[in-house]
Amino acid sequence: MADHAATHAVHDPNIGNTGLDNRKMGMWAFLGSDCMFFGSLIGTYLAYKGKSISGPGPHDVFDIPLTSYSAALLLASSLTMVLALSHLQHNRVKSAARWLLVTALLGAHFVGNQVYEFTTFALHHGLTLSTSLFGSSFFVLTGFHGAHVTGGVIWLLILVGLAWRGQIDARDYTKVEIAGLYWHFVDIVWIAIFTVIYLIP
Amino acid sequence: MANQHAAAATTHGDGGGHATVRTYINVAIMLAIITAVEVATLYVPGIPNWLLVSGLLVMSAIKFFLVVGFFMHLRYDHPILRALFVGPLIIAIAIIMAVMALFSAFLLLPRHVL
Amino acid sequence: MATQAAFMPGSKVQTETFWGTVWSWLTTVDHKRIGILYGTSAFIFFLVGGIEALIMRLQLARPDNTLVGAERFNELFTMHGTTMIFLGVMPLSAAFFNYMIPLMIGARDVAFPRLNALSYWIFLSGALFLNSSWLFGLAPDGGWFGYANLTSSQFSPRHTIDFWMLGLQILGVSSMLAGFNFLVTIINMRAPGMTLMRMPVFVWMSFVTQFLLVLAFPAITVGLILLMFDRFFGTLFYAPAAGGDPLLWQHLFWIFGHPEVYILILPAMGIVSEVLPTFARKPLFGAPVVIYSGIMIGFFGFGVWSHHMFAVGMGPVADSAFSITTMLIAVPTGVKILNWIGTLWGGTIRFRTPLYFALGFIAMFTMGGLSGVMHASPPVDLQQTDSYFVVAHFHYVLFGGSIFGLFGGIYYWWPKITGKLLDERLGLWHFWLMMIGFNVTFFPQHYLGLIGMPRRIYTYAPDLGWNFWNLVSTIGSFLIAVSLLFFIANVVRTMRSGQVAGSDPWDARTLEWAIPSPPPVYNFARVPHVHDRDDFWLQKHGDGHGSAPRPKPAPVTAAEIAAIHMPSTSYWPLLLALAMTVMISGLMISMYQVIVGGLLTLYLMYKFAMELHRPAEGHGH
- Asked whether the beta carbons of residue A43 and residue B96 sit closer than 8 angstroms, the reply is yes
Q: What is the pLDDT of residue A7?
A: 46
Measure the CA–CA gap between C4 and C570, rounded to whole angstroms. 9
Please give the interface size between A and C, counted as residue pairs whose CB atoms are below 8 Å apart.
Answer: 128
Mean pLDDT over C465-492 rounds to: 98
Which residue among C31, C308, C420, C533 is the active-site one? Answer: C308
Question: Longest Cα pair distance anywhere in chain A, in angstroms?
Answer: 65
Closest CA to C308 of C86, C143, C127: C143
Q: Which of the four pLDDT bands, split at 50, 70 and 90, describes residue C486?
A: very high
Query: What local confidence, expressed as pLDDT, does residue C617 receive?
Result: 55
DSSP H or E run through C420: strand C420-421
Q: In one letter, which amino acid is C513?
A: W
Q: Nearest CA to C307 among C342, C258, C271, C364?
A: C258
The domains of chain C, with CATH numbers, are: 1-29+568-621 (no CATH), 30-544+556-567 (1.20.210.10)
**CA max distance for chain C:** 79
Closest in B87, B95, B114 to C255, CB measured: B95
What integer pLDDT is reported at residue B19 of this predicted model? 78
Percent of chain C with pLDDT over 70: 95
Distance from CA of A59 to the nearest CA of B (A): 12
Q: What is the C-alpha separation between C89 and C43, in angstroms, rounded? A: 9
Q: Which long-range contacts (CB under 8 A, 24 or more apart) does C549-556 make?
A: C553/C526, C556/C525, C556/C526
C499 forms beta bridges with C421
For B42, the closest chain A residue by CA position comes to A199
Provide the number of CB pairs (under 8 Å) joining chain A to chain B. Answer: 168
Q: Beta-strand (E) ranges in C158-255?
A: none
B-side interface with C, Cβ within 8 Å? 80, 84, 87-88, 91, 94-95, 99, 101-103, 114
Res. C15 pLDDT band, cuts 50 70 90: low
CA C301 from centre of chain: 17
Residue C80 catalytic? yes
Shortest CA distance from C251: residue in chain B: B99
- Give the per-residue pLDDT at A8: 44
Under 8 Å between Cβ of C177 and C118: yes
Cβ of B84 and C183 within 8 Å?
yes
Q: Which helix (H) or strand (E) holds B40?
A: helix B21-42
SS3 content of chain B, % helix, strand, coil (to 5): 70, 0, 30
Q: Which of B95, B99, B103, B104 to mutate to test the interface with C (most CBs of C within 10 A)?
A: B95
Beta bridge partners of A21: A15
> What percentage of chain C has pLDDT greater than the value 90?
90
Contacts of B103 in chain C (CB under 8 A): 245, 248
Interface of A with B in 39-78 (CB under 8 A): 39-40, 42-44, 46-51, 53, 64, 68, 71-72, 75-76, 78
Best of A136, A155, A162, A172 to substitute, by most chain C Cβ atoms within 10 angstroms, is A136
**What residue ranges do the domains of chain A occupy?**
22-199
* Site from C114, C118, C186, C188 to mutate, A interface, most A CB atoms within 10 angstroms: C188
Residues of B in contact with C302 (CB under 8 A): 91, 94-95
Kindly tell me if the per-residue pLDDT of B7 is higher than 90. no
Query: Regarding the domain with residue range A22-199, which homologous superfamily does it belong to in the CATH classification?
Result: Cytochrome c oxidase, subunit III, four-helix bundle (1.20.120.80)
CA distance C13 to chain B (A): 32
Residue A12 CA from chain centroid, whole number: 29
Average of per-residue pLDDT across C484-502: 95
Min distance C248 CA to chain B CA atoms (Å): 9
Question: How does pLDDT run across C319-347, given as a tens digit for each residue?
Answer: 999 999 999 999 999 999 999 999 999 99
Residue of chain C whose Cα is closest to the Cα of B91:
C302
Q: What letter would DSSP give residue C421?
A: E
How many Å apart are CA C296 and CA C291, to the nearest integer? 9
pLDDT tens-place string over residues C502-561: 999 999 999 999 999 999 999 999 999 999 999 999 988 887 777 666 777 788 888 888
Shortest distance between the Cα of C14 and any Cα of chain B, in A, equals 34
- pLDDT tens for C579-608 read 999 999 999 999 999 999 999 999 999 999
| Catalytic residue status for C258 | yes
Is residue B112 scored above 70 in pLDDT?
no
CA C279 vs. chain centroid, Å, equals 24
Q: How far, in Å, are C117, C318, C558, C562 from residue C8 at the CA level?
A: 21, 61, 11, 7
Task: State pLDDT tens for residues C402-422.
Answer: 999 999 999 999 999 999 999
Number of helical (H) and strand (E) elements in chain C, helices listed first: 20, 2
pLDDT digits (tens, 9 = 90+) for C259-279: 999 999 999 999 999 999 999
Counting as contact any 3 or more CB pairs under 8 A, the partners of B are A, C
Q: Do B102 and C251 touch (CB under 8 A)?
A: yes
Q: Would you state the pLDDT for residue B1?
A: 45
pLDDT at A11: 66
Q: What is the CA radius of gyration of chain C?
A: 25
Backbone CA torsion sign across C265, C271, C275, C277 = positive
Residues of A with Cβ-Cβ distance to C229 under 8 angstroms: 129, 136, 140
Query: What is the separation, in whole angstroms, between the first and last Cα of chain A?
Result: 51
Rounded to the nearest angstrom, the minimum Cα separation between C510 and chain A is 20
Indicate the average pLDDT of chain C. 94
Residue A68, min C-alpha distance to chain C (Å): 27
B85/A28 touch (CB, cutoff 8 Å), yes or no: yes
**What separation in angstroms does the CA of C344 have from each of C272, C400, C455?**
12, 19, 38
Name every chain C residue with its beta carbon within 8 A of the beta carbon of B99. 251
Contacts of B84 in chain C (CB under 8 A): 183
pTM: 0.94
Q: Write down the catalytic residue from C83, C185, C273, C371.
A: C273
What does the pLDDT read at residue C614? 81
**C260, C504, C512, C535: the active-site residue:** C260
Chain C interface includes A130 (CB < 8 A): yes
Please tell me which residue in C38, C99, C120, C144 is annotated as part of the active site.
C144
Q: CB-CB: which of A33, A44, A158 is closest to C214?
A: A33
CA distance C234 to A130: 5
- Nearest Cα to Cα of residue C530 among C235, C103, C228: C103
Query: In which band, very low, low, confident or very high, does the pLDDT at C618 lie, cut at 50, 70 and 90?
Result: very low
Among candidates C112, C176, C565 on the partner chain, residue whose Cβ is nearest the Cβ of A33: C176
Residue C173 near residue A11, CB atoms below 8 Å = no
d(CA A118, CA A139): 8
As to burial, measured by CB atoms within 10 angstroms (0-12 exposed, 13-18 middle, 19+ buried), residue C313 is: exposed
Averaged over successive runs of 10 residues, the pLDDT of chain A (201 residues) comes to 47 88 96 96 95 93 94 96 96 96 98 97 96 97 98 97 93 96 97 93 84
C399-to-A96, C355, C363 alpha-carbon distances in Å:
56, 17, 12
Q: For the segment C455-474, what is each residue's pLDDT rounded down to a tens digit?
A: 999 999 999 999 999 999 99
Task: Give CA–CA dist A59/A64, Å, rounded.
Answer: 9
d(C-alpha A23, C-alpha C181), whole Å: 10
- B52: contact with A, CB 8 A cutoff: yes
**C393 within 8 A of C365, measured Cβ to Cβ:** no
